[in-house]
Amino acid sequence: MEGRRILARGHDKPYDRMECDPNEGNVFREFVVKLKGSVALVTGSSSGIGAASARALAAQGCRVAVTWNSNERGGSSTVRACRKAGAPAELFRLDVTDDEACRRVVREVVDKWRRLDILVNSAGVTRFCAATDLEGLSAEDFLEIYRVNVVGVFQTVRAAAPFLKARPVAHVVNVSSMAALNGRGSSIAYAASKGALLTMGKSLARVLGPRVRVNTISPGLVSGAWAKEALGEKKFAAMQRLASLRSTLKGVPKPEEIASVILGMVQGGDMITGSNVPVDGGAHLGTAHLLDLGKG
């Protein structure tokens, strides 16, 4: 077996390649994403999972485009954290429901850094409404949630696609939710939108291959400021206790732990596309809480 260094077309740094004897009809190639110097665009990165993902990518040497829509202070804080990690970072205002804004921000990122390797779609909204309250959701509630959680993701991917496809290896990671799989969550509209995001991820994975990998991550309840502020401290604490009881791993993930999974999908997921990874401490297994009750 012969090991060689090659310069992949359209790329400015060499990739590792191991090639077997072509006469045996078996060629093995390994392309490893070099995160240092790569460019990542993270939507919704002024707080929560998006902010944690931006920081995680910056810690690996990525140049990071941080975006905000309603929380400029949070976006500025994320930029400072990325720069403190030693990586270049810039702040962009982005309303993902505005198609022209998506195209403009992507162009500005590429104009600045001459490439785009990674897109993390973390921007999302919800409307809190009990699933039993069928009158509590209007058509406009559905449309607003879909505009951000589904159409916004599509528009951002569409704007980024030509530049991602210009790289030999590129990654898109969409942040969905366990609500997409179990139908529970902040509202029926939210769960439905995240289910649509799973399906759209599979479609995009097909059409953007072979250079672009499109995968989805589905967190359960996340221990972060966003949920605590939305639900109130007492209700959030109760939900956290219940989620921990249901979890095989006896815990609720933090935004940084979700970000570490996203980072792993980018670093080691070159042969994974169209997939979804649930991150809920094993709560989806559905047996941990029953075992606990049996111990009493």
Q: Which of 129, 190, 240, 263 is catalytic?
A: 190
C-alpha distances in Å from residue 117, one per residue of 11, 34, 151, 167, 216: 11, 10, 21, 7, 17
CA–CA separation, 228 and 154 (whole Å): 29
Name residues whose C-beta falls within 8 Å of residue 259's C-beta, 6 or more positions apart in sequence.
49, 52, 53, 55, 56
Q: Give the DSSP per-residue string, 184-206.
A: -SS-HHHHHHHHHHHHHHHHHHH
Question: Which phi and psi (to 5°) does residue 159 adopt?
Answer: -65, -35
| 35: nearest Cα among 137, 140, 135, 117 | 117
Positions of E strands within the chain: 2-7, 14-19, 39-43, 63-68, 89-93, 118-121, 170-175, 212-219, 276-279
For the question of residue 15 being annotated catalytic, the response is no
- Distance, in Å, from the CA atom of 19 to the CA atom of 240, rounded to the nearest integer, reads 50
How far is 37 from 194, CA to CA, in rounded Å?
A: 32
The two structure tokens encoding residue 238: 């109760």
Residues that are catalytic: 190
